[in-house]
């Protein structure tokens, strides 16, 4: 009798884990789909559909330390724009990028999660809370 109860418990918790990991996948898929919409509308013209950028004009966002590294710095680039000479993959970039602070916190979280997990990139998601806190520090 006790064995059965233990087995049942194991079964039930295994099913619970499967359901919650599926929910996580669905949530990530939705975030990625929303992020792509933001990317296509606000970033694609410069950074291109494949994230490869335009040599000497707009830097690639594939496998760069800015995209994959510190999330607060990355959020800061979207909020404040960027105007420093960059060298990425041996090419120099001097054009400034304008601020995109007009985007909502959710849109910034989505688009950054999207670019951190597209074009061959693989990094953790950016949350709305992280964008909120970056915005608060920026003020
Ligand atoms: C008008 C063109 C333009 C648009 C639109 C634009 N960027 Fe940029 N982006 C640039 C340029 C130019 C730089 C380099 C700035 C510098 O050298 O200071 C840059 C730099 C970056 C960087 C850091 C460098 C790198 O390559 O990793 C990231 C990340 C980035 N942009 C993401 C985005 C995201 C996300 C969006 C959309 C929300 C966006 N950009 C929209 C032109 C643009």
pLDDT < 50 positions in the chain:
none
Distance of CA 36 to the CA centre of its chain: 10
Q: What is the pLDDT of residue 139?
A: 66
- CATH assignment at residue 37: 1.10.760.10
**Ligand 1 atom at minimal distance to the Cα of residue 64:** 27
Could you give the CA distance from residue 95 to residue 97 in angstroms, rounded to a whole number?
A: 7
Q: Is the CB of 59 under 6 A from ligand 1?
A: yes
Cα(15) to ligand 1 centroid in Å equals 43
Residue 16 resides in a domain: no
CA of 40 to the centre of ligand 1 (A): 13
- Within-domain flag for 53: yes
Question: CB-hemisphere CA count at 13 Å for 22?
Answer: 6
Please indicate whether residue 69, judged by its CB atom, sits closer than 6 Å to ligand 1.
no
Question: What's the whole-model pTM score?
Answer: 0.91
Å from CA of 19 to ligand 1 middle:
38
| Ligand 1 atom nearest to CA at 93 | 17
pLDDT of residue 135: 95
pLDDT of residue 21: 85
In a domain, 51, yes or no: yes
- Do 54 and 92 contact (CB within 8 A), yes or no? no
The pLDDT value recorded for residue 1 is: 65
Q: What pLDDT, on a 0 to 100 scale, did the predictor assign at position 65? A: 96
Residue 86, strand partner residues:
93
Residue 60 is assigned to a structural domain of this protein: yes
> What pLDDT does 137 receive?
87
Domain total in the chain: 1
- Please report whether residue 84 resides in a domain: yes
Domain that holds residue 128: 28-138
pLDDT of residue 38: 98
Q: Indicate if the alpha-carbon torsion angle 86, 87, 92, 98 is positive or negative.
A: negative
Distance, CA 84 to ligand 1 centroid (Å)?
A: 11
* Atom 3 in ligand 1: residue holding the nearest Cα: 46
Q: In 43-103, where does DSSP find H-type helix?
A: 44-47, 65-68, 71-80
């Amino acid at each position: 009798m006790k064995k059965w109860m233990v087995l049942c418990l194991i079964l039930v918790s295994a099913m619970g884990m499967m359901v919650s990991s599926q929910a996580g996948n669905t949530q990530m898929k939705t975030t990625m789909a929303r992020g792509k919409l933001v990317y296509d509308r606000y970033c694609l013209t410069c950074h291109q559909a494949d994230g490869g950028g335009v040599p000497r004009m707009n830097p690639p966002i594939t496998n760069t330390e800015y995209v994959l590294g510190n999330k607060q710095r990355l959020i800061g680039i979207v909020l404040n724009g960027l105007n420093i000479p960059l060298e990425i993959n041996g090419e120099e970039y001097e054009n400034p990028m304008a601020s995109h602070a007009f985007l909502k916190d959710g849109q910034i979280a989505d688009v950054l999660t999207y670019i951190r997990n597209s074009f061959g990139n693989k990094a953790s998601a950016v949350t709305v809370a992280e964008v909120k806190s970056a915005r608060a520090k920026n003020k």
